[in-house]
Amino acid sequence: MRSRRRDGSVGRSRLWLRDLVSEATAGLLARPSRTALTVLGTVLGISALVATLGLARTAGSQIVGQFDALQATSVTVENRTEGFFGSGPQISRIPWDAEARLVRLNGVVAAGTITRVDTGGELVRSVPINDPLGQSEFAVDVYAASPGLFDAIGATLTTGRFFDDGHDTRRDPVAVLGPGAARRLNITRVDQQPAIFVGDTTLVVVGIIDDVRREPVLLDAVVIPEGTARRLFGLTAPAKVAIRTELGAARLIGGQAAVALAPNEPAELRVVVPPEPRAVQEAVESDVNTLFLVLGAVALLVGAIGIANVTLVSVLERVGEIGLRRAVGAARRHIAAQFLAESAAMGLIGGIVGASLGVLVVVAVSATQQWTPVLDLRVPLAAPLVGAVIGLVAGLYPSWRAASLEPVDALRGGA
Amino acid sequence: MEAVRDATLRVDEGDYVAVVGPSGSGKSTLLSVIGCLDRPTSGRYRLTGIDVGDLSDGELAALRGRRVGFVFQAFHLLQHRSALENVEVGLLYNRTPRKRRRWMAREALERVGLGHRLEFPPRHLSGGEQQRVAIARAIAPRPSLLLCDEPTGNLDSKTSEAILGLFDELQADGLTLMVVTHDPQVSRHAHRVVEIVDGIVSEAS
């Protein structure tokens, strides 16, 4: 059973792993409150790190989620030179059939032009005569749109209908009102075909918008068909194109739209595509993370110093125990192993408790913000390991001190 | 610095040797060499025929773990462990399986008359009982040599006498005993008395 070496000498003494674990556990439980306080630093550090990583990930996902819902399918095309809308002397590169050209592209759900109409400063009123007693004339913007615009910007109606290709082609004097404009002009129903007057021009209101997802200027405007604007107000060219794409097709369409609209000089058009979701997420995460990661790292460093300190004090207090263990057959490495195991166990406990607290923080903050908590599973799983490694490193010097004690001195010095 | 010079000492199996001398005379150096806690800087020391000068730190540890039992003036019991667990520590490092450790520890405690105190922590035991636990821990691995450093230094004379009676019994069972002491009450029980003064070892016959 006993391995004998050389001239009958007994082999080396040994300590089984299971015994090492139970000795280390007993050592930690001998002073439970001290162990708990020592672990606290690591708990704070690890929980700060886990919570930071989790919250950054969670917040990043929420923002990206909003972008997904609204902007990831939005592409707009404008003339590169800004300042003029519509009827100025400037040459627009956007053709009248922009809508037809764009919906042919695979991935475009809807497209439409939108152009501000220069009415020459004329005010808009809903009664044919000027009432001197009450205000009946308003400075309301007039916009020309192609029929597909309403779908492209996600417009919804309160009542009535949008104008269509027929109105546009026939250049009918019809208008759709934004909710703000309708309120000011005191128009709530369209079944009686109410009329509004832009200067001397009469327009029949066919619908009232409820809300739009994009181009909020239309909420307070009079929208007329593009053909009508050309006939009545001398519109020379569309100024802007709004495109709604399939999910994920926005960047592809962004690359194709300019060529489709102005094959000869695509560079003259400015295409605005939504930012890459991943880039947004990374930007948000790195902003939020840096500060808290630094704080967490500082807390971990303090925790490690705490473990090192307490383990060193423990070594000095347990000099007698160390001497005794040496006397009953422990080699230096067994003493070192025991103190390393104790400090690593403290780090491990700190890591487990810290990871749990960090996850709780992420869930609690998400609950108050009504976010969906998102956590990389590897973070809480790696946290106990990080804690154990920190404890192990912190225990290196104290356990070396313990192992290098001479047993005779230890036995006579300790109580 | 040489603490002990020209020491020639032969201890046979079953001997009961007291080592006496004033403090600072080299007793603790002799103790650490005999107990395999340290190697002699010159000369040779053999324990049951094994020359300790050839051994590594780990082998030396293994040798004292099996062949030498230590009893100290300060008992050196682990305060937060029961009597049984304290005795088990004496078997922890010498390849004794866990179950067998428990059994051997119980047997050793019964041998020193503490079979009824197995689960008591040291603070609930009297000084004499604590020293009995320490003796049980030392004899549990069935060592060749029981090495005692002022074993009665912290005990009153009545308790000391009981401990010395236990030593007599253990010696009668065939255990080799070596007791470092300056207490004449202890050395009276020994069969041989070795005196050490300024590092010189001499034996009174």
pLDDT, one tens digit per residue, over A317-340 is 899 999 999 999 998 999 999 999
At A337 the pLDDT is 94
| Alpha-carbon gap: B119 to the closest alpha carbon of chain A (Å) | 15
| Alpha-carbon gap: B121 to the closest alpha carbon of chain A (Å) | 12
- Determine, for residues A330 and B92 on separate chains, whether the beta-carbon distance falls below 8 Å: yes
B44 and chain A in contact, CB less than 8 A: no
At B182 the pLDDT is 84
B-chain residues near A13 (CB < 8 A): 58, 61-62, 65, 93-95
B-chain residues near A334 (CB < 8 A): 61, 93
- d(Cα A91, Cα A303) in Å, to the nearest integer? 68
DSSP assignment of B21-81: --TTSSHHHHHHHHTTSS--SSS--EETTEEGGG--HHHHHHHHHHHEEEEETT----TTS
B79 and chain A in contact, CB less than 8 A: yes
A-chain residues near B98 (CB < 8 A): 16, 18-19
Query: 0.90 cut: is pTM over it?
Result: no
- Mean pLDDT lowest among B32-41, B155-164, B171-180: B32-41
A317 and chain B in contact, CB less than 8 A: no
pLDDT over 90 at A355, yes or no: yes
At B2 the pLDDT is 60
- What kind and span of H or E run contains B104? helix B98-111
- Mean pLDDT lowest among A38-47, A174-183, A369-378: A369-378
- d(Cα A239, Cα A242) in Å, to the nearest integer? 10
pLDDT tens readout for residues A285-318? 566 667 777 888 888 898 889 889 989 999 998 9
pLDDT band at A7 (very low <50, low <70, confident <90, very high): very low
Q: Which two tokens stand for residue A255?
A: 């690359």
pLDDT over 90 at B124, yes or no: yes
- d(Cα A394, Cα A311) in Å, to the nearest integer? 8
pLDDT over 60 at A85, yes or no: no
Cα torsion through A393, A394, A397, A400, rounded to 10? -70
Name the residue facing A326 among B50, B61, B63 (closest C-beta).
Answer: B61
Interface mutation vs chain B, best among A1, A13, A22, most B CBs within 10 Å = A13
- Determine, for residues A10 and B35 on separate chains, whether the beta-carbon distance falls below 8 Å: no
Q: Is the model more confident about B33 or about A2?
A: B33
Task: Let me know: does B109 contact B133? Beta carbons within 8 Å.
Answer: yes
Burial of B115 (0-12, 13-18, 19+ CB in 10 A): exposed
A-chain residues near B122 (CB < 8 A): none
pLDDT band at A389 (very low <50, low <70, confident <90, very high): very high
Chain B residues 111-150 with a CB less than 8 Å from chain A: 137, 141, 149
- What kind and span of H or E run contains A365? helix A332-369
pLDDT band at A250 (very low <50, low <70, confident <90, very high): confident
pLDDT tens readout for residues A175-231? 999 999 999 888 888 888 898 988 888 899 999 999 988 888 899 999 999 999 998
Burial of A201 (0-12, 13-18, 19+ CB in 10 A): middle
- Determine, for residues A411 and B149 on separate chains, whether the beta-carbon distance falls below 8 Å: yes
Alpha helices in A2-80 (DSSP H): 17-29, 32-70
DSSP state of A91: P
* Cβ-based neighbours of B154, under 8 Å, separated by 6 or more: B73, B74, B75, B127, B131
* Nearest-Cα residue of chain B relative to residue A30: B80
Interface mutation vs chain A, best among B66, B93, B100, B149, most A CBs within 10 Å = B93
* Cβ-based neighbours of A298, under 8 Å, separated by 6 or more: A45
pLDDT tens readout for residues B81-110? 999 999 999 999 988 888 999 999 999 999
At A415 the pLDDT is 42
pLDDT band at A66 (very low <50, low <70, confident <90, very high): low
At A282 the pLDDT is 60
Q: What number is the average pLDDT over the span A27-32?
A: 87
pLDDT over 60 at A414, yes or no: no
* Proportion of chain B in helix, strand, coil states, percent, rounded to 5: 40, 20, 40
pLDDT band at A5 (very low <50, low <70, confident <90, very high): very low
A95 and chain B in contact, CB less than 8 A: no
pLDDT band at B33 (very low <50, low <70, confident <90, very high): confident
Mean pLDDT of chain A: 84
At B120 the pLDDT is 93
ipTM: 0.91
pLDDT band at B111 (very low <50, low <70, confident <90, very high): very high
Q: What number is the average pLDDT over the span B182-188?
A: 86
pLDDT tens readout for residues A132-154? 666 778 888 999 999 999 999 98
* Nearest-Cα residue of chain A relative to residue B134: A324
At A72 the pLDDT is 75
Share of chain A above pLDDT 70, in %: 86
Cα torsion through A271, A276, A281, A286, rounded to 10? -80
Quote the Cα angle for A26-B113-A320, to 5°. 35
